[in-house]
Structure 1
Amino acid sequence: MEDLKPRPANSSPLTPIGFLERAATIYADSPSIIYGNTTYTWSDTHRRCLQLASSLSSIGIQRGHVVSVISPNTPPMYELHFAVPMTGAILNTINTRLDARTISILLCHGESKLIFVDHAFCNLIHNALDLFPPEIYRPMLVLIADDAAAEESSSSVLIEGNFVDSYEGMIRKGDSEFQWIRPASEWDPIVLNYTSGTTSSPKGVVHCHRGSFIVTLDMLLEWGVPKQSVYLWTLPMFHANGWSFSWGMAAVGGTNICIRKFDAVLVYSLIRRHHVTHLCGAPVVLNMLTNSPDIRPLDWPVKILTAGAPVPATILFRIESLGFDVTHGYGLTETGGTVVCCSWKAEWDQLPAVERARLKSRQGVRTVATPAVDVVDLETGESVARDGVSMGEIVLRVGSLMLGYFKDLEATAKSMTEDGWFLTGDVGVMHPDGYLEIKDRSKDVIISGGENLSSVEVESVLYANPSVNEAAVVARPHEFWGETPCAFVSLREGLTQQRTEEEIIEYCRGKLPRFMAPKTVVFMTELPKTSTGKIQKYLLREMAMSMGPTKRSSKKN
């Protein structure tokens, strides 16, 4: 058998882009995208993506270039997941919650050649570009107008905003017979995703066609998504490419229901109008659905996949009592989607509702395409006891793992051990039945509304305040967002005027995206330290927990 080897006929590169071509053949006249009064079929979507890819190639976008997009969950945001890779280029989706300073850093780091800009974010992008160093290449801009009225008036916006074209204009100019550029290797990069985009040393996660293909099919299988499902886009597509479902819905010929902004009343309305079968979201989405004024038990079960933070059993109990069927998962930007899911056992259906919710609050077991998951003691390298109590770091072997961090070989090497493990930095326990449960995240990460916030970044801003002597930031529970930053601060001696909590918060809001700024500031004479001078964050976490959840403010956070 040693003479048998890979040949062109049996080693065509795996890529999720081919899912669209297949969908256009099998589901040509079936709806692919519904957005307000606009409906496209899979034949339409295939044609539009080819035309857009053709136009991109004609203006010089080619293999290896990075093309960025900042947009809500609209049809263009979905189509770009296919059109950009069809040129051989790499798609970079930008978090719409970031500020101009952070976006400027990411665009410079990623070396974007072109940015597709939804009309709502024109000022934000122009402000970001104004912060570019003079020697850095300024990317081309393409305007995404949201409706026909905006499209008709877009010519003046194009001129005033230095846009090279409009989104629909590029589609009209493109060739529907364009021969899309297949990856030379399945290891070719397909997307560049930033883990948080909150630091001057950002972590740009690069995924390849192979990994994206694997995680897409893995998620469809694990979640049991049938052909021609109806998927509601409550999860931002900029979050790890919508956990791979941007490509997954093409694989099953499903219908994508697109919305610009999450609103619980709208979600319930769309579920009933379009007979939605699936949606995804962080735990904050589940919480919003349980607190909607339009709550009525559903007429059919709607499946929800939730990840991004541990889900309290109380929220799971409330959401499932409304008729939702929740699957709890765990993954990272680095894995391209969830790689651990709470696979449900039929016998658990006979348990009381409270016990079912407790079991489902665990993250679960490895998916089919995840070779191994373990919880290890990093000092010894040994697996911790499977007793649901002994904690260690969660480590993974994943078929969809990133190629690495863009421009950061050192961080890439540190994240992967010589014996093949990816170090997540997350702390968990393993239960006797083999189910994983997260007990804590990396000590410098706060999860707010599904966003990973770096406490170190917030601390660096606090330390820049001339009134601050010491600062440490930990997570405090929040009744709406799950967690929010809580800052413990000691002030410099000799201040002529004492600082207030409001002043510190406003200072941070002036230098950070609003959602990253502390919601609580606690003043201390001195922060607790170890004998070597390190701040004892575990004590501060206990203090923040003892303060109880932050109440949802009537003011916009």
Structure 2
Amino acid sequence: MRVPMIDVNVSTDVIASRAMSIVGMLDHAATSFSSKACVVAPERSVTFLQFRAEVLNIASWLHRIGIRPRDRVAILDVNSLNFMLAACAVGAIGAIIVPLNYRQRVPEMRYQIRDSGARLLLVGSRYDSEAEALASDLELGARRLDGDVFQACLSAGDGAADVELEHNSDSPFAICYTSGTTGNPKGAVITQRVAHMRALKLLYELGLRHDDVMHMTTPMFHISCLMLSLGGLLRGSTQVVAPQFDVDSTLALIGRHGVTFINVVPTILSMILNRPDFTPAMLKGLRVIMYTAAPISFPIVPGIDFAGVVRDSAAPEFAPATACCSPAGAWARHGPAVLPNAPGSSPSGC
């Protein structure tokens, strides 16, 4: 028996976006969801209209310091509002982001900077020592994402009036590096069109709604989280951002903000469910749980059967991310056969 996908009810106006570009996404979101909360971060929140305005101000600043179309801009930071703003700003002027894995060592980061030809590093303050070590490999050096200059440009300027914005959806958007487990990492080039289609595919498969509140526990340097963020932008979903995963703070965040969609890895799910004082009520608002990186183990599933469960198999070199879904209550009705991509599960689970 084939298990139906999670119910999808998404307006087709997303497809009618004038161009499958980062600028097209920003314009669509600002027009369609203007005063709605776009990102809720520890330091502040912004609406969709504010998000677009700040992206364009950053784009103007990037242009002033010498970034041009097709230039590579590396980003090194934990999940943050500034990471999202910077990534979109780089794409808005036709430059290319190179997200760096903050878990890697400096020599590994240096290889990716040299291989990609990055001219600038945008970096969070917790990685100042890495930035100092990498500065000599960057023509324009490193600039702090949470520094005074960057923060000042968020509200200054006239929305990139002095910059020609990139509307060509075939322009490269990101170079995402593989892990390099069998040799040197390989940089997969993701165009703005592919990024748009990846986000759109996830949007439809996950059944994202404009009233969803999303929280991604996986890092933004990974393609899965990056595309989910763009999907939320397209759909008008609010995204609640936290720097890194912590069981207590994540559970508090879910309850405080009414999170309905969460992106995790199986280990994180286990840590939440195995918390000594855990009760299902702590996750009662979740509508969709998306997991990635590894198959989920059978013991975890009964504890999350109240929500739709999605397996994401995103990797940098995949054109669209792939997903398998089972709806809420499927385990109780059908047992292991419905578990997406679990060891020994039936293909009917997808």
**Distance between the aligned counterparts of 1:345 and 1:279, measured in 2?**
14
Indicate yes or no: 2:78 matched with 1:78: no
Q: Which string of whole-angstrom CA distances, capped at 9 and with x for unpartnered residues, describes residues 136-155 of structure 1?
A: x544211122xxxxx5xx6x
Structure 1 residues 17 and 304: alpha-carbon distance in aligned structure 2, compared to 1, 3 A threshold: farther
Structure 1 residues 116 and 62: alpha-carbon distance in aligned structure 2, compared to 1, 3 A threshold: same
Conserved? CA contact 1:73–1:260, under 8 Å: yes
1:155-304 counterparts in 2 under 5 A? 166-178=149-161, 181-184=165-168, 186-196=169-179, 201-240=184-223, 242-298=225-281, 299-304=284-289
**Distance between the aligned counterparts of 2:207 and 2:258, measured in 1?**
17
1:28-67 counterparts in 2 under 5 A? 28-67=34-73
Indicate yes or no: 2:270 matched with 1:315: no
Q: Which string of whole-angstrom CA distances, capped at 9 and with x for unpartnered residues, describes residues 133-183 of structure 1?
A: xxxx544211122xxxxx5xx6xxxxxxxxxxx321333454325365224
| SS class of match (1:84) | helix
Conserved? CA contact 1:244–1:337, under 8 Å: no
Q: Which string of whole-angstrom CA distances, capped at 9 and with x for unpartnered residues, describes residues 316-347 of structure 1?
A: 23343xx443212323221256313135498x
Conserved? CA contact 1:278–1:302, under 8 Å: yes
Aligned residues: 332
1:351 counterpart residue number: 333
Conserved? CA contact 1:228–1:252, under 8 Å: no
Identity %: 23
Q: Report deviation, 1:244.
A: 0.9
Conserved? CA contact 2:261–2:289, under 8 Å: yes
TM-score (norm 2): 0.85
| SS class of match (1:14) | coil
| SS class of match (1:331) | coil
**Distance between the aligned counterparts of 2:328 and 2:317, measured in 1?**
28
Q: Which string of whole-angstrom CA distances, capped at 9 and with x for unpartnered residues, describes residues 491-516 of structure 1?
A: xxxxxxxxxxxxxxxxxxxxxxxxxx
1:101-120 counterparts in 2 under 5 A? 101-120=107-126
Structure 1 residues 180 and 271: alpha-carbon distance in aligned structure 2, compared to 1, 3 A threshold: farther
Conserved? CA contact 2:224–2:314, under 8 Å: no
**Distance between the aligned counterparts of 2:224 and 2:141, measured in 1?**
22
2:75 counterpart residue number: 69
Structure 1, unpaired ranges of 5+:
1-9, 146-150, 155-165, 364-387, 390-428, 437-557
Q: Which has the higher contact order (CA 8 A, sep 6+)?
A: 2
Conserved? CA contact 2:262–2:286, under 8 Å: no
**Distance between the aligned counterparts of 2:254 and 2:17, measured in 1?**
41
Conserved? CA contact 1:307–1:338, under 8 Å: no
Q: Which string of whole-angstrom CA distances, capped at 9 and with x for unpartnered residues, describes residues 406-451 of structure 1?
A: xxxxxxxxxxxxxxxxxxxxxxx984x4x67xxxxxxxxxxxxxxx
**Distance between the aligned counterparts of 1:180 and 1:82, measured in 2?**
15
The residue identity in structure 2 corresponding to 1:360 is L
Structure 2, unpaired ranges of 5+:
1-15
Structure 1 segments of 4+ aligned residues over 6 angstroms from their partners: none
Structure 1 residues 327 and 35: alpha-carbon distance in aligned structure 2, compared to 1, 3 A threshold: same
Conserved? CA contact 1:33–1:258, under 8 Å: yes
2:341 to 338, 355, 362: 362
**Distance between the aligned counterparts of 1:255 and 1:286, measured in 2?**
22
**Distance between the aligned counterparts of 2:17 and 2:52, measured in 1?**
25
The residue identity in structure 1 corresponding to 2:264 is G
Structure 1 residues 345 and 297: alpha-carbon distance in aligned structure 2, compared to 1, 3 A threshold: closer
Structure 1 residues 209 and 103: alpha-carbon distance in aligned structure 2, compared to 1, 3 A threshold: same
Structure 1 residues 173 and 37: alpha-carbon distance in aligned structure 2, compared to 1, 3 A threshold: closer
**Distance between the aligned counterparts of 2:288 and 2:17, measured in 1?**
36
**Distance between the aligned counterparts of 2:104 and 2:57, measured in 1?**
30
| SS class of match (2:70) | coil
| SS class of match (1:175) | coil
| SS class of match (2:225) | helix
Bigger radius of gyration among the two? 1
Conserved? CA contact 2:76–2:102, under 8 Å: yes
**Distance between the aligned counterparts of 1:306 and 1:29, measured in 2?**
30
Q: Report deviation, 1:315.
A: 1.9
Please identify which structure carries the higher strand content: 1
| SS class of match (2:109) | helix
Structure 1 residues 198 and 128: alpha-carbon distance in aligned structure 2, compared to 1, 3 A threshold: farther
| SS class of match (1:238) | coil
Conserved? CA contact 2:309–2:328, under 8 Å: no
| SS class of match (2:35) | coil
1:305 to 271, 275, 290: 290
Conserved? CA contact 2:310–2:340, under 8 Å: no
**Distance between the aligned counterparts of 1:281 and 1:241, measured in 2?**
10
1:140 counterpart residue number: 141
Q: Which string of whole-angstrom CA distances, capped at 9 and with x for unpartnered residues, describes residues 447-500 of structure 1?
A: xxxxxxxxxxxxxxxxxxxxxxxxxxxxxxxxxxxxxxxxxxxxxxxxxxxxxx
The residue identity in structure 2 corresponding to 1:230 is V
RMSD over aligned CA atoms reads: 2.8
**Distance between the aligned counterparts of 1:292 and 1:69, measured in 2?**
34
Conserved? CA contact 1:50–1:177, under 8 Å: yes
Please identify which structure carries the higher helix content: 2
| SS class of match (2:196) | helix
Structure 1 residues 11 and 121: alpha-carbon distance in aligned structure 2, compared to 1, 3 A threshold: closer
**Distance between the aligned counterparts of 1:253 and 1:124, measured in 2?**
35
**Distance between the aligned counterparts of 2:210 and 2:156, measured in 1?**
33
Q: Which string of whole-angstrom CA distances, capped at 9 and with x for unpartnered residues, describes residues 243-294 of structure 1?
A: 5112111111111111011011111111111111111122122112112345
TM-score (norm 1): 0.55
Conserved? CA contact 1:53–1:174, under 8 Å: no
Conserved? CA contact 2:83–2:145, under 8 Å: no
